Amino acid sequence: MSIDRREFLRTSAAAAAGLSLTSVAAPGTAEGAAVGEPAPLKASLARPVVIASDNGLRGVAKAYEMIGKGSDPLDAIVAGVNIQELDPEDQSVGLGGLPNEEGVVQLDASCMHGPTRRAGAVASLEGIATPSLVAKAVMDYTDHILLVGPGAKKFALNMGFKEQNLLTEKSRQDWLRWKARLNANDNWLDHDDDIKIKFSTGTINMNAVTATGDVASVTTTSGLAWKLPGRVGDSPIVGAGQYCDNSVGAAGSTGRGEANIKVCGAFLAVEFMRQGMAPEQALMKVMERVIAMTEKRLLNDRGRPYFDLHFYALAKDGRYSSATAYQGGQFAVASDKGARLEDSVYLFKSEERPARR
């Protein structure tokens, strides 16, 4: 296969560099709905629409702007998530992401393009700040879907991506605090006792539908903080961390990837929408399925999970929603009403959330 690496990198760099922000509207005021109560539709039949996890507010604004100027939906949302990947203050993705237990930042990402039915993904990628772009390169230039570890890094370098140290001083200090508290009798001195140790599962998922009904999805993450080296969550798993079907819509997730992988949550949400469910109904059903498939050690005596997951879904016609296990979640939306945060529907009220073990 003939690969024009220079052109690919020129296009990718332009997408990553042109991250100017549009104005952001005030957060939405829609309310979530507990189980058994009517859930308000997060609907906007005026396409295009872009949705994302709540850390994607700047990204959905950028993606919506690009789509409005004629950009491909996948190019637009990858440019949207690049904002977080390249932000060293965001410790959940890309540059500055929290490392594994050995202090190494390992990144995962996957993407899908509705019109061509193609997908690409990378896992346990080290030294490259924008795994979403590498995943897209896997999709665009190879006959494969998923590359992992050293092979993914070699591919990225051969494509012209630049290697850099992803562990910022801020994330390194958080790693040292975590490491020092593992064993009170080890040789590591505790420091900054007043600082809470972070156990991030942060990720960014973004989905888009254009004015003509084409859809795309992308998810990128640095994974679970302090994870075992080589641990891979749901983000690079097509059908779990994200999925799209151009005849139906797109979906994705953030949160505990191990729980989502077992139900192929993004694929399941799209399939429920294919059967005629509205996005919020589909996501609530997926959340119920996640809990039904959860082992007892992760549930309290009332069957409430100790963890949370956050799902996002966007139908081809412009309807959208997000759902969580517990009340209080939000997600980002950009449409003809501007870019804003809206509340997610939920299964359980916040007071039912059990204390973390």
Q: Which sequence positions are flagged as catalytic?
A: 203
Tokens at residue 296, please? 């007892």
Inter-residue contact 207 to 332 (CB < 8 Å): no
261: number of Cβ within 10 Å? 17
What is the C-alpha to C-alpha distance for residues 172 and 320, in angstroms, rounded to an integer?
38
